[in-house]
Copies of this chain bind each other. A is one copy, B any other.
C-alpha cells in the first residue's frame, strides 16, 4: 500500500528532504498554533511537526483499527472521515478542510475508530502523537490548544447534527452551503466563492439524502439566481435569499417546545402566583444566570 508519510520509526519519504515543517511560514498558523504561546512554543511545535505530504483523491490517511501514530492538520484540500455499516456501505461523518485537525477519533483507545480519506487533492501535516503528547505535558499552552481543538470538534459535531436534521431537504443543502461559506471565512478566504471539495454523491451521503436531490436543489438555487454553480465551484449571489430558505416551510418535526424557552414568564403562566412556575420558565439547576 502506498503512503506519503513514514511509518514510525521514520523512513525516508521519496520527496522528503529535511522533514521539519515550516509553520512560521504557513497560512494556517493562526488556526494550528496556540495563540497565547510565546515564540518558543511555535519553535517547539515546528520541531516535531512533519512537513506536509500531498494526497490524491481517494487516498487513505488512516483506517479504522490503525494505531494512532499521528494527528493530522489539513493544509489544503479536503478530507472526509467515514464509518461503514455491517454490509459495507459508507457513511461520511465528518469533513475537514484547511486548518482543521484530524485523528481525534483515535484518542480514546489509541486506535482510530474511523477511516479518513482525501476527497480532493490535499496537503496534510503530520504530528507524531507521542512527541506531541510529551509537548502537551511540557508546554501548558499546547495542552490547552489541544483541549480547545477537541472542544471545537464537539461543537462542530453538534452543528452537523443540527444541519442534517433540517426539515426540507432544500434547507439541508442550503445550511450546508452556508456552513462551507463560513468555514471559508474562518480560513481567511471569501465567503462568496468557494469550492466544495467533494462529489454530489458525497454531499448527499453527508447530508443524509441522495445525489439527485442535491443536484435538484442546487439547480433550483441556481435557476433562482441565488447561487452560481459550475461543478464544484460555487458562488453565492444572494445571501439573504439563501438564509431565507432555511426557515421557510419549517416543518414541525421538532414539535412545539419540547423544552421551555429562555427567559421570562409566559402570559399563560400568570395564573400561578408565587409557587414558581413549574415549566414556563427555564428551570436552572445551578444558581447562575445565562451568560453569567
Q: Are B151 and A287 in contact (CB under 8 A)?
A: no
CA distance A286 to B262 in the complex (A): 49
Given contacts A151-B104, A254-B90, contact A82 B5 (CB under 8 A): no
Q: Are B7 and A288 in contact (CB under 8 A)?
A: yes
Q: A67 at the A/B interface (Cβ < 8 Å)?
A: yes
A2 CB contact (under 8 Å) in B136, B160, B284: B284
Complex interface: chain B residues within 8 A of A146 (CB)? 147
Q: A164 at the A/B interface (Cβ < 8 Å)?
A: yes
- A: contact size bracket: 35 or more
Q: Are B282 and A63 in contact (CB under 8 A)?
A: yes
Complex interface: chain B residues within 8 A of A160 (CB)? 157, 161
Residue of B whose beta carbon sits closest to that of A279: B58
Report A80 CB to chain B, min CB distance, Å.
8
Q: Are A62 and B283 in contact (CB under 8 A)?
A: no
Residue of B whose beta carbon sits closest to that of A11: B287
Would you give the 0/1 interface string for A277-292, flagging 1 where the beta carbon is closer than 8 Å to chain B? 0110111111111111
A292 CB contact (under 8 Å) in B67, B150, B157: B67
CA distance A157 to B202 in the complex (A): 19
Complex interface: chain B residues within 8 A of A147 (CB)? 107, 146, 150
Which of A58, A261, A285 is most buried by chain B, counting CB atoms within 10 A of its CB? A285
Report A95 CB to chain B, min CB distance, Å.
11
Q: A114 at the A/B interface (Cβ < 8 Å)?
A: yes
> How often does this chain occur in the complex, in copies?
2
Q: A247 at the A/B interface (Cβ < 8 Å)?
A: yes
Given contacts A154-B107, A158-B81, contact A1 B287 (CB under 8 A): yes
A17-25, A41-49, A204-212, A223-231 - interface stretch: A204-212
Instruction: List which A148-203 residues lie within 8 A (CB) of chain B.
Output: 148-155, 157-162, 164-165, 199, 201-202
Given contacts A288-B66, A291-B65, contact A259 B117 (CB under 8 A): yes
CA distance A115 to B258 in the complex (A): 13
Report A5 CB to chain B, min CB distance, Å.
5
Q: Are A286 and B155 in contact (CB under 8 A)?
A: no
Instruction: List which A245-292 residues lie within 8 A (CB) of chain B.
Output: 246-247, 250, 252-255, 257-262, 276, 278-279, 281-292
Which of A69, A150, A161, A286 is most buried by chain B, counting CB atoms within 10 A of its CB? A286
Q: Are B283 and A108 in contact (CB under 8 A)?
A: no
Q: Are B151 and A154 in contact (CB under 8 A)?
A: no
* Other A-B pairs beyond A1-B289, A93-B162, A154-B157, 12, CB < 8 Å: A6-B286, A82-B258, A87-B247, A90-B254, A105-B154, A105-B158, A114-B158, A150-B151, A157-B160, A161-B164, A202-B258, A210-B253
